[in-house]
Amino acid sequence: KAGVTQTPRYLIKTRGQQVTLSCSPISGHRSVSWYQQTPGQGLQFLFEYFSETQRNKGNFPGRFSGRQFSNSRSEMNVSTLELGDSALYLCASSLAASVEQFFGPGTRLTVL
């Protein structure tokens, strides 16, 4: 069974631009969670989608948004990029929120 895939793996943007990251969960998994990882803040929860509905949300500004499609694939969008948005963005999928989450390799976003 294929693992969680994330595209692109690396991305370079400039301040003010917007970016869309994609995550394809493991087949059959309906829950997708997004995390931001930075050296200073560690891993921080962004949001979680289950069956196309946002079920949980972390403490991030409205510039961070996401969605989930009927095939469980998820996208995350960041608008008006700031230098501080440079991070590794991890996606994780699970059959249900209370069991093991399987992580993707991440998308490394650099904002210049």
Binding site for other proteins (CB under 8 A): 33, 35, 42-45, 48, 55-56, 58, 88, 90, 92, 96-98, 100-106
- Residue corresponding to tokens 């990882």: 37
**Nearer Cβ to other proteins, position 12 or 17?**
12
Q: Which of 11, 67, 81, 80 is nearest to 34 (CA)?
A: 67
How near is the Cβ of 16 to other proteins at its closest, in Å? 28
**Nearer Cβ to other proteins, position 73 or 102?**
102
The tokens describing 48, both together, are: 């979680």
**Nearer Cβ to other proteins, position 16 or 84?**
84
**Nearer Cβ to other proteins, position 83 or 97?**
97
Phi-psi region of 31 (alpha: psi -120 to 50; beta: other; left: phi over 0): beta
How near is the Cβ of 39 to other proteins at its closest, in Å? 10
DSSP state of 80: S
How near is the Cβ of 84 to other proteins at its closest, in Å? 18
Q: Tell me how many degrees the CA angle 36-39-44 measures, rounded to the nearest 5.
A: 30
